[in-house]
Amino acid sequence: MKFYSTNRKSALVNFEQAVMKGLADDGGLFMPEIIPVFYKEFFSHLENLSFQELAFSISKKFVEDEIGEDKLEKIILETINFPAPVVHLIENISVLELFHGPTLAFKDFGARFMAKTMEFFNSKENKELNILVATSGDTGSAVANGFYGVEGINVFILYPRGKVSYIQEKQLTTLDKNITALEIDGTFDDCQRLVKAAFVDKQLTSQLRLSSANSINFARLLPQTFYYFEAFKQLQNNNENLIFSVPSGNLGNLTAGLIAMKMGLPITKFVAAINSNSVFSEYISTGKYSPRKSITTLSNAMDVGDPSNFSRIKDLYSNNLEEIQNNIYSDSTSDEETLNVIKDLYNKHKYIFDPHGAVGFNSLNNYLNKNNFTDYSAVILETAHPAKFLDVVETTINIKIQMPERLAACMKKEKKSAALSNEYSELKKFLLNSI
């Protein structure tokens, strides 16, 4: 498979180059030249495939023979090694629980697959690879965990000081070995800007092999398509309308869903559920895109003012707004509404949402209220475990939440990080000194 840049000013690359570069030379994002399509028979026999077999069939179409079948199978067995169960919520609405991985958020899927894929390609080189990643919360821990102890790869995680939760910070800063946490005096957008500046700094990249690990990397996006197929399989959907509600920030998860749909998965509509950082929902309703500084909310992994995958979505639809609007509904949910959903769903149905999933529920509910479907099936992607947002969730519903063992373990460890300002020169100095 060949990949082009959304800016269309650099040459086509293969899967390996797309993964190892992360971002194209012209600053664009990589997109597959063709979206491979599964035919109807594939979908009518899905129940015969395990989640891992599904993942293999999908990834094979993009990876082709750049990774041998045995090796690709091994990567999948090692990374897609926890379930993505669909749990019935109410009426025709279910929840796709994506938090059963090691860091309790859906980003484990992408980060683990990417880490092992990069390890495979990097094993042919004899120079260390340095991964720079900006995180608004969950990316960092998933990436750190995915790369932890991987030979020949160093990881630097930039996170905004005071803007991630206590638990998220613990998850980011308590690994050692090849993982370094950088605490930036600024916002998530500053962190993203610093990472981008490093990539275009010729002087730096001539000395260090750099790569990214944000949702801009195609190796993160690809495994996020797997669970849309897996959800469809579990639902055994016979309804006319299949709707996925996706709590969204950088729009990576949504983009993966759109790709799954273009691969033939019969999805009717995506609900892009966002918090008060409403840039994308404004675009969907008005066609105007006005990026701006992000604001802090309870669903902080979605506090994004200029979503990085926006260019991929426009590209998927050749910038045709009407078609984008046909496939995507979007609206914005306040913190107050988020808390009301958490309270309501627990009190009435004993389901505990985290703040991100609650935003997903609220937007879906709004969408369903505007349409009178009689025949539909809707799935909310629950992107994180409620225990990751313990303070908010516990005070909202007044119960003690059981912390999963894998989270409790890292809470006992000591924080280690380096504090930097939001000036690029400081980051550059740090990187050059530490390697």
Residues found near ligand PLP in the complex (CB under 6 A): 105, 107, 137-138, 215, 247-254, 301-302, 356, 383-384
Cβ-based nearer residue to ligand PLP, 102 or 137? 137
- Which is the catalytic residue, given 21, 61, 107, 177? 107
Cβ-based nearer residue to ligand PLP, 208 or 339? 339
Cβ-based nearer residue to ligand PLP, 301 or 328? 301
Q: How far is the CB of 9 from ligand PLP (least distance, A)?
A: 25
CA-CA distances (angstroms) from residue 396 to 279, 297, 347, 386, 391?
A: 28, 15, 11, 12, 8
Token reading at 337: 């509404």
Cβ-based nearer residue to ligand PLP, 122 or 365? 365
Q: How far is the CB of 27 from ligand PLP (least distance, A)?
A: 19
Q: How far is the CB of 215 from ligand PLP (least distance, A)?
A: 5
Q: How far is the CB of 393 from ligand PLP (least distance, A)?
A: 13
Cβ-based nearer residue to ligand PLP, 120 or 188? 188
Residue whose token pair is 């797309």: 18
Is 107 part of the annotated catalytic residue set? yes
Q: How far apart are CA 282 and CA 301, in angstroms?
A: 19
Q: How far is the CB of 240 from ligand PLP (least distance, A)?
A: 27
Q: How far is the CB of 435 from ligand PLP (least distance, A)?
A: 28
CA-CA distances (angstroms) from residue 429 to 31, 63, 191, 193?
A: 33, 36, 16, 16
Token reading at 203: 């002087």
Cβ-based nearer residue to ligand PLP, 21 or 107? 107
Q: How far is the CB of 247 from ligand PLP (least distance, A)?
A: 4
Cβ-based nearer residue to ligand PLP, 28 or 360? 360
**141: buried, middle or exposed (CB in 10 Å: 19+, 13-18, 0-12)?**
buried
Residues across the chain: 435
Active site residues: 107
